[in-house]
A = this chain, B = another copy of it.
Amino acid sequence: MTGFSQTQVIQDLIDRLTRLNAAEEWNGPLNPSQFAALSYLSRANRFSRAPSHVADYLATTRGTASQTLKALARKDLIAETRSDTDKRSIRYDITSEGSDVLKTSTGLSEVIDSLGLETSETLANSLKTLVLAMLQHRGGRSFGICNTCKHHQTSGTGGYCQLLEVSLSGNDAVQICHEHAL
């Protein structure tokens, strides 16, 4: 009798998109969680590749993230490096095998590519708004690109982070940082 509210419609669309994407992401040897973690590690800078950062980014717990990372390490797609300065912490770097796995394009990316410029522009903006609102709602970090951060200082080749007090390579500066703030 009653129709559906706009909120319900959107929620349903997101749910379906989620499922379709997940079905598509069972790509090769990885499941969606592993794929997401691997993809994150490939784009995060060296200060943001610890299990706890992955957990934050994937909106899960440290325990679960730890297991997922161990699974990826078992497959030699990532390699673990212990920190010198803090003996508790670990950093996972992507291996060349890991990079190769990410290169195989998913069904989703093909679909997005076929969407047309204006449509994908609108889509990107809508999604950005929604994701930011979600993050704010649950008090999560936004994880932005290093060189768009208020702590970033340009200097010669790379840059400098005023928060961590380290100099940044050109590569560091264009990757995702967990400390990102505006």
A residues within 8 Å of B by Cβ?
A: 1-4, 6-24, 32, 36, 39, 43, 57-60, 106-115, 119-131, 133-135, 137-138, 140, 170-171, 174
Contact = CB atoms under 8 A, between A and B. Distances in A.
Contacts of A109: 7-8, 11
A123 B10 contact: yes
A160 B171 CA distance: 63
A86 B128 CA distance: 48
A58 B15 CA distance: 9
Contacts of A11: 106, 108-109, 112
A106 B135 CA distance: 14
Nearest to A59: B23
20 contacts: A2-B174, A4-B43, A7-B113, A8-B109, A10-B124, A10-B127, A14-B127, A15-B36, A17-B130, A17-B131, A19-B36, A19-B59, A20-B59, A20-B131, A23-B59, A107-B137, A111-B134, A111-B137, A122-B125, A123-B127
